[in-house]
Amino acid sequence: MKANWPSIDHSILSPSGKISKRSKDAYMKRFVKELFGPDGLQPPQCQQLTEKERLLRNAGMWRDLANRGMNPGKYNKQADEAEAKAALL
């Protein structure tokens, strides 16, 4: 098990306690490689909705807003249009 290291590497500090930009960048590069591996932190892959799924989801959201009393005419019309477009796909 690895020991808990301090959050700063004192070997990169100058006598005045300041860290030069070059040494800070080099330290951060080493730290990131140690923490996340040579490839770095990879963002998670999320699945995108298809156009039809997106339209149907929006239609449901607009119907819900209309059912709760927020511009029922406007949101019901938008929901109808979205459902019609989704039916064509």
Using the predicted structure, report yes or no on whether residue 3 has a pLDDT greater than 70: no
* In-domain check, residue 73: yes
List of long-range contacts for 51-56, beta carbons under 8 Å, 24+ apart: 51/86, 51/89, 52/86, 52/89, 55/82, 55/83, 55/85, 55/86, 55/89, 56/82, 56/83, 56/86
Q: Is the pLDDT of residue 25 over 60?
A: yes
Predicted local confidence at residue 86, as pLDDT? 96
Do the domain assignments include residue 56? yes
Domain that includes residue 69, residue range: 51-88
Q: What is this structure's pTM?
A: 0.52
Q: With respect to residue 17, please indicate whether it lies within any of the assigned structural domains.
A: no
Over residues 67-89, the pLDDT tens digits come to 999 999 999 999 999 999 999 98
As for how many domains the chain has, the answer is 1
DSSP 46: -
Question: What integer is the mean pLDDT of 56-63?
Answer: 97
